[in-house]
Structure 1
Amino acid sequence: MTKINILYISPNKYNSNEVLELINANESWHGFVANNEEEAVLLFLEFNMAMILFGCDVNKKTEIKLCHYFKEINPTIIILEPYGGGTGLLTHEIISAFNKDESL
């Protein structure tokens, strides 16, 4: 089974670990975490990401810059921005976004 790669971007390492655990709890998903812009770009280029999640603590200027970059490389990438809800909502948000994209 091929897993769907999801990249979570947030400078908050504690919160990042919590979100990563939640993503990886789904057998169909493989979560990655980037705590800064450089890590995000490297992971995005190395792995075939289907979705990008931005933490609410990402600088708006950085978020806009990365969104443009990701969309330029992969126009079909799903981007949820900014993610700031409780972890209980995250799974639902991801599933809803994937259901809107019939290619996955």
Structure 2
Amino acid sequence: MQTTILYIGRDTEITTVMSRLLNARPEWKGICVCTDDEAIAICNEQHLDLVLLGNGIDAECEKALRAKLTGIRPGLKIIQHYGGGSGLLYGEIMTALNH
């Protein structure tokens, strides 16, 4: 069964790279968006195992987004991802999923 991961970031180029990295693993299904509205719509429509918050999301937006997403799916795991290589990304995701 695939693990569905939603990445939310503000930079379209980085979001494209994240989509490629997340979907390179057959056990992961990566969905990558740049707006909160898109993220909320996806959270309403699909099962999510993990949300990664990427670059460009300020503290106020992050707080509101976390509240909205967990309001839709209580217990949803949400972590910050600031970049780094694919090994770091894999480690962050596996740590989050196993806790």
Structure 1: which 5+ runs fail to align? none
CA drift at 1:99: 1.4
Asked whether the 8 Å contact 1:22–1:87 carries over to 2, the reply is no
Query: Structure 2 length normalisation: TM-score?
Result: 0.91
Quick one: which amino acid aligns to residue 48 of structure 1? Answer: H
Secondary structure at 1:80 match in 2: strand
User: What SS class does the counterpart of residue 49 from structure 2 fall into?
Assistant: strand
CA contact 1:22–1:91 (8 Å) conserved in 2: no
Q: Equivalents in 1 of 2:37, 2:69: separation in Å?
A: 13
What is the distance in 2 between the residues matched to 1:85 and 1:10? Answer: 11
Aligned length: 98
The answer for unaligned runs of 5 or more in structure 2 is none
8 Å contact from structure 1 (residues 10, 55) kept in 2 = yes
2-side partners of 1:60 and 1:74: how far apart?
Answer: 21
Report the 3-state secondary structure (helix = DSSP H, G, I; strand = E; otherwise coil) of the residue aligned with 1:26: coil
Counterpart of 1:85 in structure 2 is 83
CA contact (8 A) 1:71 1:77 kept: yes
TM-score (norm. length: structure 1): 0.87
Question: Is 1:62 aligned with 2:27?
Answer: no
Distance 2:63 2:85 in 1: 23
Q: Which residue of 1 aligns with 2:70?
A: 71
